[in-house]
Structures are given as structure tokens and as C-alpha cells.
Amino acid sequence: MKNVRNIALSIISSALLAGAAWALPASPAGHQSATPSQNAAQLQSASGKITAVSSSSFTLKTVASNPPSRGVAMQSQDPNQSKDQGKEMTFTIDQNTTVDGKLAVGANADVSYRTDANGNNVAVTVHVTPQS
């Protein structure tokens, strides 16, 4: 009889504990966790002239940040940067990078990129306009 009572008490305790855990909210109030798809949508953009090209990266002297476009959440590179100031940015090219045109020194390029965990700028899409 004692065994039956212990088993019943264990089942009831487990059910109460499971019910309490199920009733808890998924995340703290006001806190939204980022999913991989939300992180992927956190793209930034830059435009400028290509100053160096290698097999796995290229460098761009920026002229101004692009505004958001095509419904993708975009953030400008540096909102305090004036349009006549430029800075050099290096972008890594990986197997997922889409390049429209030919990367060449002197060509203009529009780049959508993400920043990886190491702080590197990884190009997602590059649209190259040949130099005139």
C-alpha cells in the first residue's frame, strides 16, 4: 500500500510541476529573442568606389550610406557621417555572396552586408557599376 501511495504522489507532483512549467511565459515581459531569420534581415548597406580586390575580399571607399530599400530592414553604416566624407571598408566574399558585375579597382559598387560574430563585414549582395 505504501508503494502505491508513493507512486501516486510522484505522478501528482510531476503533473503539477509540468503544468506550472507550461504556464510560464516563453520569455520575460518586454524581451524578444532574436531568431536566425530576424538576424539575417539585419543587413546594412554601403556604396562607393572599389579600391582593392582579392579572391576572398574587396575594399570600398564609401561615399554615403544607402537608404533602406525593397522592404528589407536596412541600417545605415554611420548616421553621423557626412556625404562628402568617405572611409574604407573591407568586405569578405563567401560562397553565399551574390556579385552582379565584375569586381574591379575603380568601379562603383553598392553592397548589402552583415557583420559576423568576429566583427567582419560579410558581403551578401554586390552590384558593380563599371567605371566610366
Whether 131 contacts 120, CB under 8 Å: no
Residue 86 belongs to domain spanning:
38-129
Looking at the domain assignment, is residue 69 inside a domain? yes
Distance, in Å, from the CA atom of 67 to the CA atom of 88, rounded to the nearest integer, reads 19
User: What's the structural domain count of the chain?
Assistant: 1
- Count of C-beta atoms within a 10 Å radius of residue 66: 16
Looking at the domain assignment, is residue 9 inside a domain? no
Looking at the domain assignment, is residue 85 inside a domain? yes
Give the pLDDT of the chain (132 residues) as one tens digit per residue.
777 777 877 788 777 667 666 666 655 554 555 545 445 548 999 999 999 999 999 999 997 554 444 444 444 444 444 444 679 999 999 999 999 999 999 999 999 999 998 999 999 999 999 876
CATH code of 49's domain: 2.40.50.320
Dihedral of alpha carbons 70, 71, 77, 83, sign = positive
Looking at the domain assignment, is residue 31 inside a domain? no
Looking at the domain assignment, is residue 18 inside a domain? no
Instruction: Indicate yes or no: pTM above 0.85.
Output: no
Whether 106 contacts 131, CB under 8 Å: yes
Distances (CA, A) of 61 to 15, 34, 97: 62, 32, 19
Looking at the domain assignment, is residue 93 inside a domain? yes
Looking at the domain assignment, is residue 11 inside a domain? no
